[in-house]
Amino acid sequence: MESDMEEYRQEFIQEAREYLDLMNQNFIKLENGDLNAINEIFRVAHTIKGMAGFMGYKNLEELCHKLESAMGRVRDGEIEITSDVVDVMLKAVDAIEETINKIEEENSDDVDVSEIINALGEFMQEGKDEKEMKEVDLSKESFEGANVRVDVYLSEDCIMKSVRAALVVENLSEVSEILTVIPDENDMEKEDFDGHFVVFIKTSDINKIEEVMSKVAEVDKFEISPLEQKSEDKAEQKEVETEVENKEKDRSKVVKDGVKKDVKKDKKLESIRVNIAQLDTIMNLVGELVISKGRLLQIASEYDIPELKEAVSIMDKSITSLQDEVMQIRMVKVERIFNKFPRMVRDLARKLGKKVEFVMEGLDTELDRTVLDEISDPLVHLVRNAVDHGIETPEERVAAGKSETGRIRLAAWREKNNIIIELEDDGKGLDVEKIKQKAIERGIVTQTEADSMSEDELKMLIFAPGFSTKDNATEISGRGVGMDVVKTTVERLGGSVRISSKRGEGTRIRIHLPPTVAIIKSLLVKVGDETYAIPISSVVEALYVTDENWKVIHGNPFLIVRGKLVPAFKLRELFNVVNGKPEREVGIIVEKESEKYALIADTIAEQQEIVIKPLTGYLAKIKGFSGVTILGDGRVVPIIDISSLLGGDRLA
d(Cα 465, Cα 457) in Å, to the nearest integer? 15
CA distances from 513 to 171, 207, 489 (A): 45, 51, 11
Q: What is the mean pLDDT of the chain?
A: 80
What pLDDT sits at residue 243?
Answer: 44
Higher-confidence residue of 159 and 607: namely 607
- Coil/strand/helix, residue 65: helix
d(Cα 588, Cα 602) in Å, to the nearest integer? 10
Give backbone dihedrals phi and psi of 29, rounded to 5 degrees, phi first.
Answer: -60, -40
Burial 393-412 (b: 16+ CB within 10 A, else e): ebeebeeeebeeebbbbbbb
What pLDDT band is residue 410 in, cutting at 50, 70 and 90?
A: very high
pTM of the model: 0.63
Burial of 313 (0-12, 13-18, 19+ CB in 10 A): exposed
| Mean pLDDT, residues 17-35 | 89
What pLDDT band is residue 93 in, cutting at 50, 70 and 90?
A: very high
What pLDDT band is residue 598 in, cutting at 50, 70 and 90?
A: very high
Show which residues are catalytic. 46, 68, 385
Residue 565's closest CA among 549, 576, 581? 549
What one-character DSSP code corresponds to residue 480? T
What pLDDT sits at residue 474?
Answer: 33
Judged against a pLDDT cut of 80, whether residue 559 lies above it is answered with yes
What pLDDT sits at residue 138?
Answer: 54
Higher-confidence residue of 576 and 478: namely 576
Summarize pLDDT for 322-372 with one digit per residue, the tens: 888 888 888 889 998 999 999 999 999 999 999 999 999 999 999 888 888
- Coil/strand/helix, residue 587: strand
d(Cα 489, Cα 482) in Å, to the nearest integer? 11
Q: Which long-range contacts (CB under 8 A, 24 or more apart) does 457-466 make?
A: 458/432, 459/430, 459/432, 459/435, 459/499, 459/500, 459/501, 460/499, 460/593, 461/435, 461/436, 462/430, 462/435, 462/499, 463/487, 463/497, 463/499, 464/439, 466/442
Higher-confidence residue of 520 and 310: namely 310
Percent share of the chain, pLDDT over 90: 22
- Coil/strand/helix, residue 162: helix
Summarize pLDDT for 455-477 with one digit per residue, the tens: 888 888 888 776 765 554 333 44
Q: At what angle do helices 58-75 and 83-106 cross, to 10 degrees?
A: 160
Summarize pLDDT for 131-151 with one digit per residue, the tens: 344 444 555 555 667 888 999
What pLDDT sits at residue 230?
Answer: 52
What pLDDT sits at residue 254?
Answer: 38
d(Cα 355, Cα 352) in Å, to the nearest integer? 9
- Widest distance between CA atoms in the chain: 99
Q: Please give the helix or strand (H or E) that residue 396 lies within, else none.
A: helix 394-399
What pLDDT band is residue 495 in, cutting at 50, 70 and 90?
A: confident
Higher-confidence residue of 49 and 274: namely 49
> How does strand 625-630 pair with strand 636-640?
antiparallel
Amino acid at 24: N
